[in-house]
Amino acid sequence: MFKILDSFKDIFEKYYGKVYRQIALMINDDDKAQDIAQEVFIKLIKDPPHNDENIGGWLSKVATNQALNYMRSEKSLKVRELKVFQFNDTLISPEDMAIEKIENEKAKKVLSKMDRRDKLCLILKHSGYNYEEISISLGIKKSSVGTTIARAHKKFKELYEKEV
C-alpha cells in the first residue's frame, strides 16, 4: 500500500480520541462509539484515502458517516440507557445522575433542533478537531470555521435557555 500503513500507529494514537469523542457525542453510547471508532480505523487500513495530507478531516468525515449509518439503523432507544454504576471511578448519587441525565437530554434536544451543519460543527469542535479538519469534514472554508462555530454556539445557547 502506501505511506498510511507506515504511520498507522501514529495516526491511531493521534486521532482515536477525537474520532471516539465525535462519535460518542453523536450517538450518546460510549460502548457502541468505541466499536464504530474501530470500524473507522479498519476502513482506513482497508480503503485509505488517496491523499493523506489531511487524515484528520478524512477520519472525521468517515466517523460522521459511520455514526449516521448507525443512528439510521438503530431501532431501540433502550440501547442508550444511562450507565448506573460508576462515573470517572467514583460513585455518583442518584440525584446527580438524574440531573446529568436531564442536562444531557436537554442538550440532545437542543442539538436536534439545530441544522445539520451547526450541530456537526459543535460536535466536531468539542471532540477536539482543529479548524482545518472541521473545514474538510463539513465542506466549508477553513476561514469560515471560527465564525460558523461562534454562530452555532450562540444558536445552541439561545435554544438551550428556551428549553424548559
* Averaged pLDDT for residues 127-149: 90
CB 23 within 8 A of CB 37: yes
Q: What is the reported pLDDT for 32?
A: 93
Q: Which positions ≥6 away from 95 have C-beta within 8 Å?
A: none
Instruction: Provide the terminal-to-terminal Cα distance of the chain, rounded to the nearest Å.
Output: 54
Predicted confidence (pLDDT) per residue in 93-132, tens digit: 677 777 877 888 888 889 889 998 999 899 888 888 889 8
Domain hosting residue 26, numbered range = 3-162
Query: What is the tally of structural domains in the chain?
Result: 1
Residue 6 reports pLDDT greater than 70: no
Alpha carbon distance 70, 64 (integer Å)? 10
- How many Cα neighbours within 13 Å face the side chain of 20? 12
Positive or negative torsion for Cα 114, 122, 101, 38 = positive
- Percent pLDDT > 90 in the chain is 38
pLDDT at 3: 54
For 76-93, letters b (16+ CB in 10 Å) and e give eeeeeeeeeeeeeeeeee
pLDDT band of residue 91 (cuts 50, 70, 90) is low
| Per-residue pLDDT tens digits for 41-73 | 999 989 888 776 688 999 999 999 999 888 877
Mean pLDDT of the chain: 82
User: Can you give the pLDDT at residue 5?
Assistant: 52
Which of 84 and 60 is assigned the larger pLDDT?
60
This prediction's pTM: 0.54
